[in-house]
Amino acid sequence: MNKLIGFTLFIFMINGLNGFGQNSKTILFHSATIHTGTGKTIENGWMLVEENKIKAIGTQSETLPKADEQISLNNKHVWPGIISLATTAGLREIDAVRATLDYSETGILNPHVRALTAYNTDSKITSTLRSNGIITLQACPTDGLISGSSSLFYNAGWNWEDAVIRKDDGIWLNWPQSYRPTRKGDTTQYDARNQKLMFELETLFEDAAAYKALRAPAKPNIRLEAMRGLFNGTQNLYIRANYTRDIMNAVTFAASKGIQKIVLVGGTDAHKLMPFLKKHNVSVILARLHRLPDHPDEPVDLVFKAPAMLVDAGITVALSYSGDMEVMGSRNLAFTAGTAKAYGLSAEQALQLITLNPAKIAGIDNLTGSLEVGKMADFFITQGDALDMRTAYVLNIYIQGKEVDSDNHQKELYRKYMERYGKPLKE
């Protein structure tokens, strides 16, 4: 019982003190190209970090502030930490080994299932993501109709308790897909299945809406308890839907149930419904941009153009790497933002797709997601353009003002074998 009441208390609790230790000094990073993530690029700029936060940002033409330590970056680039949403990072290790998979619970209605406590900070995979500048991860359950709730983590920490940034930020709903290919032309089987699923959904949301009014239910219900935040705007409803009719049905459904914050995930057809999404104030987390056309005959580069179309329409868009091999592959997330740039966005807009916009969507933008005064000093440093694999080599990574390890198991093996073959390291 206490445990259940507890649920409502720690929803939307931002954890400010993680296990990274305190950086008690002030550090000035200067002579850098600073990509703030707010739409600005400061050439020849500086950034003052005090304890775990950004204290000031400026350009070299101003007088440099005093600091305990000064680091000249020699025109290197500083970027806000990359945020990877809609991922099973920390919940899976080896796809083909069932024992290492913790993202898909059995049953179809699992709003009570939480990614939080299954999140593995010692995943070998997430360390390789960190090495590529991915500083924040949203670990999400998948499958079923309601998969459970996600949480946001710093991509470093001793355990989930100190890595977590925001617990249970939203509930994940897989919208039943209505466009289903069939071999024999018979759609009745799917229609019947979808009707059944819709019945389950309708009932669940009606019950949850009624339940939320009970402050101390005589008979607590673990599922309905987990859904309270959806109705008061403290939790997102993340809806995985891809195609037009499904997106419209899903958003209309959620809005009619009084859900405050609706986030569309996947959204392959979102660019066909922009006025509709705008009207309902829906944010979009796009599926992996590096994919094949979603529909037969579609222009070969339409998937690459979609982010620019949505951004131009004023919709808040984030990129994800969801799909096959999404966790290990998400070290390429920044390069998909590069593709969005190649197909219509400015460099600053493209960067926002993986920094400030996901922070806004996940409700952590007051804390991280851009390099702004007062926000956490979460950033990484590269020699060149972080959105282009050609130049994206990451030199240093800072989380809450403290440099974290950019090494990983793969780099170790690389060094070991370069040594074995008597070759000099190139990095």
Partner 1 sequence: MCLQAFAQVPATVNTLEDERNLRHAFVNVTLHPAAGEVLEGVTLLVYDGKIEAFGKNVAIGAGTVVHDLKGRHIYPAFIELWTDYGLQKNTFREKTRRTNQFGRTEAGPYYPNMAIHPEVSAASDFQVNEKAAKSLAAAGYAIAFTHKADGIARGTGAIVNLLPEAEDAVLMVEKAARVYSFRKGSSQQDYPASKMGAIALIRQSFADKTWYTKGGKEKARNLSLEAMIEQDNLPLLFESESWQDNLRAFELFGEQNLRPIIKSAGDEYQRLDVFKTKNASFIVPLKFPEGWEMTDPYMIDFIALEHLKHWETAPSNPFLLHQNGIEFSFTTHGLKQTDELFEQLRVVHRHGLSSKEILRALTETPAKQLRIFDVAGSIAIGKQAHFFVSSDTLLHPNFQVFETWIYGKRAFANPAAGMLDLNGSYMFEMENVSNVILEVTPNGKLSKAEMRLGDKKFPLEWKQANEQVSFRLKEPLDGYPAIFHGFTEKSDSMWVLSGEAKDSSGKVVLWKANMTSLYKDTLVKESLPAVSPFEARFPFAAYGWDSLPRQKAVWFRNATLWTAEKEGILKNHDVLVHAGKIVGMGMNLDVNRLLPKGTPLDTVDARGKHISPGIIDEHSHIAIQGGVNEGTESVTAEVRIGDAVDAQDPAIYYQLAGGVTTSQLLHGSANPIGGQSALIKLKWGLTPEEMKIPNAPGHIKFALGENVKQSNWGESYVKRFPQTRMGVEQVFYDAFLRAKTYQKEKEAATKRSPKGVAQNAFRVDYELEALAEILEGKRHITCHSYIQSEINMLIHVADSMGFAINTFTHILEGYKVAEQMKARGIHASTFSDWWAYKFEVNDAIPYNGALLHEVGVVTGFNSDDAEMGRRLNQEAAKAVLYGGVSEEDAIKFVTIHPAKMLRLDQQTGSIKPGKDADLVLWSDNPLSIYARAELTMIEGVVYFDLQLDEKKQERDRLEKFKIAEKMSRTPSKKRKDIPPRRPRYHCDDLTEEGDSHE
Among 14, 94, 192, 222, binds partner 1 (CB under 8 A): 94
CB of 240 to partner 1, least distance (A): 17
Structure tokens at 252: 């209309």
What is the DSSP code (8-state) at residue 92? B
User: Largest Cα–Cα distance of the chain, in whole Å?
Assistant: 74
Q: Which residues pair with 134 in a beta bridge?
A: 82
Please report the sign of the dihedral spanned by the C-alpha atoms of residue 71, residue 73, residue 78, residue 84: negative
Near partner 1 by CB under 8 A: residue from 1, 66, 186, 216: 186
In the list 35, 212, 271, 341, the residue contacting partner 1 (rule: CB under 8 A) is 341
417 belongs to the binding site for partner 1 (CB under 8 A): yes
285 forms beta bridges with 265, 318
Provide the mask over 22-61, with x wherever binding to partner 1 is found by CB under 8 A and - wherever it is not.
----------------------------------------
Q: What is the CA radius of gyration of the chain?
A: 22
- In angstroms, what is the minimal distance from the CB of 88 to partner 1? 12
- List the one residue from 26, 88, 110, 332 that touches partner 1 (CB under 8 A): 332
Between CA 223 and CA 216 the distance in angstroms is 15
Inter-CA distances, 269 with 155, 266, 277, 305, 347, Å: 31, 9, 11, 12, 24
| Residue pair 275/252 in contact by the 8 Å Cβ criterion | no
- Quick one: which of 25, 180, 278, 279 contacts partner 1 (CB under 8 A)? 180
List 144, 170, 176, 338, residue binding partner 1 (CB under 8 A)? 338
Binding piece for partner 1, criterion CB under 8 A, among 58-66, 106-114, 139-147, 177-185:
177-185
**One residue of 63, 181, 215, 256 binding partner 1 per CB under 8 A:** 181
Task: Classify strands 41-50 and 26-35 as parallel, antiparallel or unpaired.
Answer: antiparallel
Q: Is 193 in the site for partner 1 (CB under 8 A)?
A: no
Q: Closer to partner 1 at the Cβ: 93 or 169?
A: 93
Question: What is the C-alpha to C-alpha distance for residues 289 and 310, in angstroms, rounded to an integer?
Answer: 13
Task: Based on the shown chain and the rule CB under 8 A, indicate whether residue 275 belongs to the binding site for partner 1.
Answer: no
- Least distance between partner 1 and beta carbon 323 (Å): 8
Which positions from 376 through 415 interact with partner 1, judged by CB under 8 A? 387-390, 392-393, 410-411, 413-414
Nearer to partner 1, 125 or 311 (CB): 125
Does position 374 interact with partner 1 (CB under 8 A)? The reply is no
Q: Which one, of 409, 415, 427, 402, lies nearest residue 135 by Cα?
A: 402
CB 360 within 8 A of CB 347: no
Instruction: Pick between residue 17 and residue 427 the one whose CB is nearest to partner 1.
Output: 427
In the shown chain, the binding pattern of residues 115 to 144 toward partner 1, with x for contact by CB under 8 A and - for none, equals ---------xx-------------------
| DSSP track, 348-416 | HHHHHTTTHHHHHHHT-TTTSSS--TTSB--EEEESS-TTSTTT--EEEEEETTEEE----HHHHHHHH
Measured from the CB atom, the residue of 314 and 384 that comes closer to partner 1 is: 384
Instruction: Give the binding range for partner 1 (CB under 8 A) out of 93-101, 141-149, 255-263, 362-370.
Output: 93-101
Residue window 293-322: x/- pattern of binding to partner 1, with contact defined by CB under 8 A? x-xxxxxxx---------------------
| SS3 assignment for 138-168 | EECCECCCEEEEEEEEECCCCCHHHHEEEEE
Token pair of 50 as six digits: 């005090």
Q: Is 334 exposed, middle or buried (0-12, 13-18, 19+ CB in 10 A)?
A: buried
261 binds partner 1 (CB under 8 A): no
CA dihedral of residues 309, 135, 322, 290 (deg, nearest 10): 50
**418 lies in the binding site for partner 1 (CB under 8 A):** yes
Measured from the CB atom, is 94 or 373 closer to partner 1? Answer: 94
CA angle 397, 14, 241 (to 5 degrees): 85
| Smallest distance, partner 1 to C-beta of residue 405, A | 17
- The correct pick among 223, 257, 272, 280 for binding partner 1 (CB under 8 A) is 272
* Complex with partner 1: residue 228 or 341, whichever CB lies closer: 341
| Sole residue written with tokens 């032309």 | 185
Among 13, 64, 117, 179, binds partner 1 (CB under 8 A): 179
Give residues in contact with partner 1 (CB under 8 A): 93-97, 124-125, 179-183, 185-187, 243-245, 269, 272, 290-293, 295-301, 324-325, 327-329, 331-332, 335, 338-339, 341-342, 387-390, 392-393, 410-411, 413-414, 417-418, 421, 423, 426-427
